[in-house]
Structure 1
Amino acid sequence: MDSFEVNKIAGGVLGTLLATMGLGLVAAWFYEAPTPAKPGYDLPLAMAETSGTGDSKTAAPAKPLPVLLASASPEKGANLAKACGACHNFEKGAGAKIGPPLWGVVDRPVASIPGFSYSEAIKGKGGDWSLDKINAFITSPKGYAPGTKMTYAGETDPQKRADILDYLHTLSDDPKPLPAVSEATPAAAVQPAAAPAPVK
């Protein structure tokens, strides 16, 4: 092969490389990303803590459980709890399934169903299943009792949890009254403020 042929091949290769580089530069010019007004990006946790206005200080305060229970619906709770029926029985006298039966669970001693194999995480909790404890547990089972066998991911909506608690509270021969809304709770948190009296 003479030098002229070698030069032709080398020229073709170099020309292809130059054309490729040129196309890359043109594409970068066409699709250049705009420069952000503020460097960096928001972390998911920081976004979750805001109320949608970008200011975490304006997030709505959490309502106390008695306030949520005052407007809860056991019917809605029963519908929400249907998903739990795959692992739990709700009927009186029904035995354990994958999880313990939930009839009479409110105020029942923790880990107290005979013959059921509870996790050490649940056994270590002690006490009774108060509404507050159940609320904390169904918010995030693995957060409340790391190592629990419960596979349920949890319910993040406080009102839906209150509906479920109201339903579980009815699963008893003699349900105790739900906790009263404390007098210390602002009235605005319980009911809408009354309209101002007309000026006479």
Structure 2
Amino acid sequence: MDSFELNKIFGGVLAGMVAVLGVAIVSDEMFARHLPEKPGYEVAGGEEAAEAGPAVEAEKPAAFFLASADAAKGEAVFKKCAACHNAAAGGANGTGPNLHGVVGGPIGAKAGFNYSAALGGMKGKVWDFDSLWGWLKSPKAYAAGNKMSFAGISKPEDRAAVIAWLNSQSASPLPLPVVPVEETAPAAASAEADVAAAPAA
């Protein structure tokens, strides 16, 4: 086969490729895709719902749960903490500090325990009911950078029970809160209405 024949074959192949390329370009122009600015499916009312966020009921304050906290249940829940802590009077520090008398005691000041900077920097503050409430809910959120790996106690009733039990492990337990006034008012008003509605004897 001479060079003339090879040139003809090569020219034919090249012409075919140019034709395919031309068809591809023309079809892309004819059927161009128009991508949306924001990928995804549009859902009616979706943006408003996303801005508003999910309807999450706010958690009641610590005092509400502490008013009816069960210290005996708290002792059982505390068993998950016992790998690192004890609450015995004069007990030794473990991976975590001894917690005897922690309620009402100073933060980051248990003798002989090496606290992280996150808690050591809170010296002067005390473990009152609200601070323990926040700590036990999420140690990482309460004091970012602390060494405690515990995720926290999600159920408020369990959290209150542990605080009530820790409070009992003290030479001078603090008085637990009573049910907040706003929680008792509706019940009292209902009882008064019932008395007023009752027929005279």
Q: TM-score, normalised by structure 1?
A: 0.66
Residue in structure 2 matched with residue 166 of structure 1 by the alignment: 164
- How far apart are residue 129 of structure 1 and its match? 1.0
One-letter amino acid matched to 2:43: K
Identity %: 35
Residue in structure 2 matched with residue 177 of structure 1 by the alignment: 175
Partner Cα separation in structure 1 for residue 95 and residue 111 of structure 2: 14
Residue in structure 1 matched with residue 11 of structure 2 by the alignment: none
Which runs of no fewer than 5 residues in structure 2 stay unpaired? 1-40
Which runs of no fewer than 5 residues in structure 1 stay unpaired? 1-35, 51-55
User: Does structure 2 retain, via aligned residues, the 8 Å contact 1:63–1:189?
Assistant: no
Structure 1 residue runs of 4 or more that deviate by more than 4 Å after TM superposition = 188-196
Give CA deviations for 1:155-177 in whole Å, capped at 9, x if unaligned: 12112111111111101122121
Residue in structure 1 matched with residue 140 of structure 2 by the alignment: 142
User: Does structure 1 retain, via aligned residues, the 8 Å contact 2:153–2:159?
Assistant: yes
Partner Cα separation in structure 2 for residue 70 and residue 102 of structure 1: 22
Partner Cα separation in structure 1 for residue 96 and residue 188 of structure 2: 38
Which of 33, 38, 43 is the aligned partner of 2:43? 38
Flag the 1:71–1:172 CA change in 2: closer, same or farther, 3 A: same
- Structure 1 residue 89 and structure 2 residue 94: aligned? no
Aligned residues: 152
Select between 152-161 and 72-81 the one with higher mean Cα deviation.
152-161
- How far apart are residue 112 of structure 1 and its match? 1.2
Partner Cα separation in structure 2 for residue 189 and residue 76 of structure 1: 29
Q: TM-score, normalised by structure 2?
A: 0.65
- How far apart are residue 95 of structure 1 and its match? 0.8
Partner Cα separation in structure 2 for residue 166 and residue 190 of structure 1: 25
Partner Cα separation in structure 1 for residue 75 and residue 187 of structure 2: 23
Residue in structure 1 matched with residue 65 of structure 2 by the alignment: 68
User: Does structure 2 retain, via aligned residues, the 8 Å contact 1:67–1:189?
Assistant: no
Counterpart of 1:163 in 2: which secondary structure? helix
Flag the 1:151–1:191 CA change in 2: closer, same or farther, 3 A: farther
One-letter amino acid matched to 2:149: T
Flag the 1:80–1:194 CA change in 2: closer, same or farther, 3 A: farther
Partner Cα separation in structure 2 for residue 176 and residue 137 of structure 1: 18
